Amino acid sequence: MKTFQTGRQRLAPQEGIYTMGSAGSLPSEMLGAGAAGTGVALILFVVAQVRHQERQAHAAAMAEVRALQARMNPHFSCLTR
């Protein structure tokens, strides 16, 4: 079996894949998975908030454009609805 030395840790092949040591205990793996899932959920929540704010800003801008068009030419109001 061929192993590689990198700094302080040894890399050993495991079914064609070089891994950094062995897997941890079940509770530590579950804790790591939970932390990763929480991080992903937080990122998705922030992205959803940003999209919602962008939609609100776009809707407000479009309302303002419609109001200005209606003031410039009353016939615009029936075209934008």
Instruction: Render pLDDT for 25-45 as a digit per residue (tens, 0 to 9).
Output: 888 888 888 999 999 999 999
Residue of higher predicted confidence among 1 and 61 = 61
Q: Which one-letter amino acid corresponds to residue 34?
A: G
CA distance linking residue 41 with residue 35, whole number of Å: 10
Residue range 7-29, pLDDT digits in tens:
555 555 555 555 555 567 888 88
Show me where the domains of the chain are located.
39-81
CA distance linking residue 26 with residue 31, whole number of Å: 9
Do residues 77 and 69 make contact, with C-beta atoms less than 8 angstroms apart? Answer: yes
- Percent pLDDT > 90 in the chain is 40
Assess whether pLDDT exceeds 80 at residue 68: yes
2 closest CA partner among 10, 16, 15, 12: 12
CA distance linking residue 23 with residue 14, whole number of Å: 12
**pLDDT for the residue 69:** 85
pTM tops 0.85, yes or no: no
